[in-house]
Amino acid sequence: MANEQYTLAMIGAGPASLYATEVLAGEGHQVVILNRDIKPGGLAEFGIYPTKQKMKMGLRAYFRRILSRENVHYFGNVTVGEEADITLQQLRQVGFGARIVAVGAQGTKWLGLPGEDAESVFHAKDLVYHYNHLPPFSEREYPVGDNVVVVGMGNVCMDIVNWMVCEKQVDTVTAVARRGPAERKFTRKEFKIVSGALDEEAIHAELDRVGSAMEAIGQEPEEHREALLRYVDEPLERCSDTDFRMRFLRRPVRIEVDDAGQVQGLVCEKTRLVEPDEPEGRAGIEPLGQYETIDCDTVVFAIGDAVEPALGLPLSKRGRDMFATVPQPWEKHPERPRYMAYDPDAQEPIWDTFLIGWARKASDGLVGKARKDAVRGCDEILAFLNGEFPVSPTGAEPFDQAMEGVEALLSEEAPKAVDYADVQRIEEMEKQEAKRRDVDEFKFASEAEMLRRLDRDQ
């Protein structure tokens, strides 16, 4: 049990947030969760492919147990940031013992290519939110053409390929990577799901083309040819005539757009592989100054995400797509990354503020890794609360006073906030609607509809 019990602000309600809440509430602290979306779950709810129902149901059940604890207080439909409902500074003034930022990577990462602003150029995360029915993305139209290029070669790319193959039934979908087959980042499990759509002839031709470049740095092309074609006889989740292709050693440099604003192709610079900088590292690439255009009418970037600077925390000097954390190792666990926020200009820690999950390191791992990161982060948070750092929690109000401050702040700044009882009512209404429609799952498409249903039910 902690030396003292504090009221803690947890910003975000995805996997990292909820696993951290479980630890901190288990130590006797009161945890107030402020979530941008009406419903909790984050990427566990709105990022996992819709057909993976068993995984989703298991996570939902686990998270419901956490959210139902007496010392866990959930408020959804509340944005936090400089231009949001509530600022981080306002949360400090309420009297929280600590602020834990677990908002995930809300920003999108782009390459800054000419033509990126064309109508049929999308970020993968927007499409993932769209087909997972997260408002407001669920309400938007995403005009997908017949020939799609996905930039990236990770698991999110495979999810987008799956959607294009089984749901959109496009003519072709082509995954493009700067490196070679040996540097692919998707898992075997995710690749197996879409392998039935592979254009075998195109894959053979691609491996023949890049084989000599792989051999030049000691890689075995045939080993990767076998791996890429291992599951071509696996059935797709839905029958489709879409051809799935892959292009390696191609670095996107420009999107060709016609006078009407329609995407015509992705221009790529050819690359070659170079030896890794360190043992067991990924091969590097070297541009060749030669170019090729891959014909397409839609481009999707599946290249990871970035933090959202508008949250109001200092960005790292090491990488502008991540928040700053204390650079010095923690004596208790010098082998671990730091979780305490940091002000690089003042060169001082932000003692009462911590970053966990993708808010600390964007696009890093899946739900299991988010849990590990959250639990490790809690070690540092609890050490702060227990007075193990040079600065201890200051200005922390007793729970009753802190909650009065939270409720007053929400009433003034976020009057449409919903609590966990509201979320449970929405889920029950969606369950009944799914039963009425005879479908496995139903979600209201807009926040306005959810709020309207709550008002009607009161």
How far is residue 361's CA from residue 364's CA, in Å, rounded to a whole number? 6
Q: What is the pLDDT at residue 110?
A: 87
Residue 347 pLDDT more than 80? yes
- Over residues 314-340, the mean pLDDT reads 90
Give the count of alpha carbons within 13 A of 270, CB side only.
10
For the chain, how many residues are written?
Answer: 458
- Over residues 1-13, the mean pLDDT reads 84
- Over residues 50-60, the mean pLDDT reads 91
User: For the residues of 277-290, what is the DSSP string, one character each?
Assistant: SSTTPPPEEEEEEE
Domains of the chain in start order, with CATH, are 7-106+306-416 (3.40.50.720), 110-303 (3.50.50.60)
> Model's pTM, two decimal places?
0.90
What crossing angle do the helices spanning 15-26 and 53-67 adopt, rounded to 10°? 30
Residue 2 pLDDT more than 80? no
How far is residue 423's CA from residue 192's CA, in Å, rounded to a whole number? 35
State the DSSP H helix or E strand holding residue 320, giving kind and residue range, or none if neither: none
Closest CA to 256 of 246, 268, 269, 266: 266
Mean pLDDT of the residues in the chain: 93
How far is residue 317's CA from residue 320's CA, in Å, rounded to a whole number? 6
Q: What is the pLDDT at residue 153?
A: 95
Label residue 31 by pLDDT band (50, 70, 90): very high
% pLDDT > 70, the chain? 98
Q: Which token pair is 123?
A: 């970020």
Residues facing residue 400 across a β-bridge:
none
- Helix, strand counts (H, E) of the chain: 13, 17
pLDDT tens digits, residue range 78-119? Answer: 999 999 999 999 999 998 999 999 998 887 888 999 999 999
- Over residues 130-154, the mean pLDDT reads 95
